[in-house]
Chain A
Amino acid sequence: MERRFRKPEADLALSPPTPSIAQHGSRESRTHTLRIMSNNHLNQDQPGRSIRGPQSALTDFLASQNISAARIRADAEARRATATANAASNTPATERSEQVEEQEDESDGVVSGRSAAAAARRARDQKRKKQQEAIAKIKKSKAYKKRKRTDSESDDDLALALFNETMTPLPGQMGNCEICGKRFTVTPYSRSGPEGGLVCNPCGRKLAKDEDANKKQKKKKGPAPKGVVGRRKIQSRILDGTYDVGAKPLVTLCIETLAKNIHLADDIGGLPSPVIDRIARLLSKTRLLDSHTLDLFLQPHHDDLKVYDAAKLKSDDFIKIFQLVPQLKRLKLRNAIQFGDRVMQYLTTRNMSLESIYLHGANLLTEDMWAEFLTRKGSYLKGLQVYYTDKHVSDKTIDTISNVCPNLTRLKICHNQEVSDEGIKCIAKIDTLEHTFSIKNVPDVDDRLLDAIHENCANLSKLRITDSEFMTDIGFTRLFRGWKNKPLSFVDLQKCRHVDAAKPRENEHMVGLCSQGFEALMEHSGTGLRYLNIHACRHIPGETFEKVFASDRTYPQLRYLEISFCEYVNDFIVGSIFRSCPNMKEVNVFGCMKVKDVRVPRGKILVGVPNAVGMRIEGVDDASN
């Protein structure tokens, strides 16, 4: 029975046929055997066999099978001593580990005290011999020769390293941690320590953390020097329209540095106002403008103040603006949430005459306050722009504007739910307004509006009608043909098109901007047009584009063209566009699936080509015909 019990170990260990003898006297020799066994790293330390406590069921069972628990324990202890010595010998710092080993031997020596220590010592001698043999063998091996060629280590070091590699315990075995010396079960995930041995889980985690930190540092130091940007960044700049060749201007570099270190600045008063404006923009971009940095921009002699992000300013800060800059004429505040009644009250009661106000997001201002302000100060106003104020700018307010602002030339009201048709009628009464006609997202307005524009507007430079589903090609043609207005410089007619999910291509009533309308538009405004957006006007046929951008037609002013989702646009048309528009900077052709491989002249940008190369093709050809 006992024989069978020990069988696996015998199979593994006893290559010299040493029988596992039960006599006490053979104990040392068996330890030797074990030592040899461990040198061949066959040490299968089975935890199930180190049983303690005479009361355990297994002990009882073994006792009944004539196996003594005491002997098993002695065996186990001897094995543990071996394992300790083994683990310690894995570290090159032999002397220290020997000490540790000795100590451990002594502390182990409850049962098998001195004899175990002696056995260990003898085992060590034996082991060293074995190790030297093994090293000699390794030196002859192929792996060694291979490594030797690449590594510059000395012969012995290398051989020892290889030896230690083969010596590390296999998964499932117990080993002593190289760092903390604790015993642990080796798993496939156990890390090797700095000196080649294995480390326990907690130490391994610490090691991993250190390594990660090192890696990160290396990455930071990495090959890319400061300021050089990657491909993604360049692509992003192209799409932002800020891409350019060559170094940044020195002023830009300085402003960027200044904006980064704005907390160090005490005064930027001596700088010219365009520079100050650029600083203000950069600060707002990174949301650094607060009551402290606002002071830098408040110069008593200025008449112009632009705050691009006032979200962090309080009511008192706004009042401070009016106190410190009494000559203020033009005020622009974005995200001016706290620009409430109290601030407006202050402004109304001071002896200030603002010429233009740009307020974005000031939705705490009430309708009454608007009325009071406009009544008192409206006569000075030349420009009024109000964005995102939800409710309180109403038809009544617009009515007030039309009555009390005789000098108003510019009025913009965006994203206000309260303004309705009534309000627009009131706007129509303000005859000093110039330049722009802009209605966004108006699905229901029809041709009558176009006719009205044709009749009444003679001074527009900007026209924006978007998302109209009722205006027809005939309407647009009537608008542009024989229009007494000067050529427009800005036209945005995006998404004026027929939408029918069932029959997307049929457009029998010629809804939206189509062939005739587009031709008429280009005929009327082509000479002065700088910006044209006909995004998704998808019923303009290819022949019309070819006719409009024919070789004998030029549009010298056109810089920006958006023809995305005009499905008939193809390579030839894009080429014709570049030929006809010598000053073109950027053409957008998202969703024009017929644009495949077009040659772009140098310095021009084509965005949105559906190819694998990327989002844009920046001009490479010098010849632009």
Chain B
Amino acid sequence: MMMSDAPEPSKHVTLVSSDGFEFILLREAVMISPAIKGMLDPKSQFAESRTGRCVFEEINGIVLEKIAEYCQYWYKYKDSSNVPDMDIPVELCLELLQAADFLGLDRKISFQSHR
């Protein structure tokens, strides 16, 4: 379970959508997004870095669910060279594209660089 008030950074973080859905993810998995990484950086003194809760007022639950799915997908395949494409629902495509752009999910980031 999440321990958002613990001083030690938990292994999990929570992403909250604009309509109140919460997604609990591995901290390492969300590090794919430079934006979220910056929010959670202990040095940044953002509220998010203390609570481990990131609230996205611009992203609704459906889109954030896909983002969460992508984070897990990226984490799962971070070291494999033959990766199946994740399925993107066509109707979500534009919203998801905007959200992905906002979160900076447009570059290849090797896993090692987050260590």
A contact set with B: CB distance below 8 Å: 225-229, 234, 243-258, 261, 264-265, 268, 270-272, 274-275
Q: How far apart sit A255 and B96, CA to CA, in the bound complex (Å)?
A: 10
- Taking a contact as CB atoms closer than 8 A, the residue among A227, A251, A274 that contacts B83 in the complex is A227
Q: How far apart sit A243 and B82, CA to CA, in the bound complex (Å)?
A: 10
Contacts of A228 in B (CB 8 A): 82-84
Q: B80–A245 contact, CB under 8 A? A: yes
- Taking a contact as CB atoms closer than 8 A, the residue among B76, B80, B93, B108 that contacts A249 in the complex is B108
Q: A254–B93 contact, CB under 8 A? A: yes
Contacts of B100 in A (CB 8 A): 249-251, 254
Q: A227–B98 contact, CB under 8 A? A: no
- Nearest CB in chain A to that of B89: its residue: A257
Contacts of A270 in B (CB 8 A): 94, 98
Contacts of A248 in B (CB 8 A): 83, 85
Q: How far is the CB of B73 from chain A (nearest CB, A)?
A: 6
Q: A253–B106 contact, CB under 8 A? A: no
B110 within 8 A of A: yes
Q: How far apart sit A271 and B96, CA to CA, in the bound complex (Å)?
A: 11
B107 within 8 A of A: yes
Q: A234–B82 contact, CB under 8 A? A: yes
Q: How far is the CB of A15 from chain B (nearest CB, A)?
A: 66
B19 within 8 A of A: no
- Nearest CB in chain B to that of A246: its residue: B78
Q: A250–B96 contact, CB under 8 A? A: yes
Q: A246–B98 contact, CB under 8 A? A: no
Q: How far is the CB of A280 from chain B (nearest CB, A)?
A: 14
- Provided the pairs A246-B74, A249-B105, A255-B97 are in contact, do residues A234 and B81 lie with their beta carbons within 8 angstroms? yes
Q: List 10 A-B contacts (CB under 8 A).
A: A226-B87, A227-B84, A246-B77, A246-B111, A247-B74, A247-B83, A249-B108, A250-B105, A271-B97, A271-B101
- Nearest CB in chain A to that of B33: its residue: A250
- Provided the pairs A226-B84, A250-B96 are in contact, do residues A244 and B101 lie with their beta carbons within 8 angstroms? no
Q: How far apart sit A248 and B90, CA to CA, in the bound complex (Å)?
A: 17
Contacts of B67 in A (CB 8 A): 250
Q: A253–B101 contact, CB under 8 A? A: no
B88 within 8 A of A: yes
B57-85 interface (Cβ within 8 A of A): 67, 70, 73-74, 76-85
- Provided the pairs A268-B94, A270-B98, A271-B98 are in contact, do residues A249 and B85 lie with their beta carbons within 8 angstroms? no
Q: B90–A227 contact, CB under 8 A? A: no
Q: A251–B97 contact, CB under 8 A? A: yes
Q: B88–A254 contact, CB under 8 A? A: yes
- Taking a contact as CB atoms closer than 8 A, the residue among B73, B90, B96 that contacts A247 in the complex is B73
Q: How far is the CB of B62 from chain A (nearest CB, A)?
A: 14
Q: How far is the CB of B95 from chain A (nearest CB, A)?
A: 9
| A-B contacts besides A246-B78, A265-B94, A275-B97, 11 pairs, CB < 8 Å | A226-B84, A227-B83, A227-B84, A229-B82, A246-B77, A247-B78, A251-B105, A254-B97, A256-B85, A258-B97, A274-B106
- Nearest CB in chain B to that of A275: its residue: B101
Q: How far is the CB of A248 from chain B (nearest CB, A)?
A: 7
Contacts of B110 in A (CB 8 A): 245-246
B6 within 8 A of A: no
